[in-house]
Structure 1
Amino acid sequence: MERVVHTMPQDPKSEDEVVWITYVLRDGTKKKIRGKVGDNVMYLAHRYDIELEGACEASLACSTCHVYVDDAFANKLDEPKEEEEDMLDQAPALRPNSRLGCQIILRKDLDGMTVTLPQMTRNFYVDGHKPQPH
């Protein structure tokens, strides 16, 4: 009897599709993740339990997946759409290398890219804020 091995749909089918990305977490910890061509940075983070929020689920209606892209790769990314720039304007601690993780689609030339999670997001609950009763 033939044994069938099932793979997750997000798994690369060949090494040609593999793209390694490193996430620098808010505490400075680095997590190197094996993604594939076509993944977006936000959903890949979710798959590996990295705390990169995506309140609008990649519909370009928030800035909670804001990341800093390593300078060596920032210029390799496609220019941001106007909608992404509008949302980035609402992100706290904006930098020249700021992008929305939901808009970064992995390609082979982005292999080795590092993205850093900002210390704060637009959604203060993610940042550990605990509201106090009045």
Structure 2
Amino acid sequence: MMPKLARGLTQVLSSSLVRCLSTMVWLLPTKVQPWRMFGTTRLLQDEIQDSGPQEQLTVNLINHLGKKITVPVREGENMLQLVLKHNLNFLGFGICEGTLTCSTCHLILEKEVFQKLGPISEEELDILDLTCGVTATSRLACQLCMTKAMDKQTLWVPMETDTSGSK
């Protein structure tokens, strides 16, 4: 008697679960970015809309070894995605893939640039509070989008960001 009841209950639960999951699929957004599911920066969740030709901007990134790398960037482009797009070899950079759960995409900005940016979210501040080598001008690349104020400016990847153990 018990196996028959268990089998019937399993079938009911399975069919209910299938109905529930199929309903949930219709609720999902059409463009889900696998690299960004949480966070406060809207541009990380949505692709940058191409509104025609844009002024070419550049940003200088200095890695944990002191090597300067200049990369082209569009206004509004996310700094973490920039590093990934250009396959920059910053060891351990962005391990959480922009979910705002780690500090491996920690960048240090020049004071003048930092002051021109918008306010930092509470979530980003919470992560920065747990970050090694944090400065008064620290930001997380996953929460930082390119602005004209950052054009031709330098951003530093702190030595503490390297999670490989080689300094």
Instruction: Compute the TM-score of the two structures, normalised by the length of structure 1.
Output: 0.77
Match of 1:70 in 2: 110
Gaps (5+ residues) in structure 1?
1-8, 130-134
> 1 or 2, which has the higher strand percentage?
1
Match of 2:53 in 1: 14
SS of residue in 2 equivalent to 1:120: helix
Amino acid at match of 2:166: G
Count of equivalent residues: 117
SS of residue in 2 equivalent to 1:75: helix
How far apart, CA to CA, are the structure 2 residues paired with 1:62 and 1:112? Answer: 27
Q: Give, in angstroms, the shift of residue 128 of structure 1.
A: 2.6
Aligned-residue CA RMSD (Å): 2.2
Pair 1:88-2:128 in alignment: yes
Pair 1:101-2:151 in alignment: no
Alignment partner of 2:69 out of 31, 37, 55: 31
Amino acid at match of 2:146: L
Match of 2:158 in 1: 118
Q: Give, in angstroms, the shift of residue 78 of structure 1.
A: 1.1
How far apart, CA to CA, are the structure 2 residues paired with 1:86 and 1:111? Answer: 28
| CA displacement, residues 48-107 of structure 1 (integer Å, 9 cap, x when unaligned) | 222161122112111110010122201111111000000011110111011101111112
* Runs of 4+ more than 6 Å apart: none
Instruction: Compute the TM-score of the two structures, normalised by the length of structure 2.
Output: 0.63
How far apart, CA to CA, are the structure 1 residues paired with 2:149 and 2:64? Answer: 26
Match of 1:60 in 2: 100
SS of residue in 2 equivalent to 1:46: helix
Q: Which has the larger radius of gyration?
A: 2
Q: Give, in angstroms, the shift of residue 113 of structure 1.
A: 2.2
Percent identical among aligned pairs is: 28
How far apart, CA to CA, are the structure 1 residues paired with 2:126 and 2:61? Answer: 24
How far apart, CA to CA, are the structure 2 residues paired with 1:25 and 1:90? Answer: 21
SS of residue in 1 equivalent to 2:108: strand
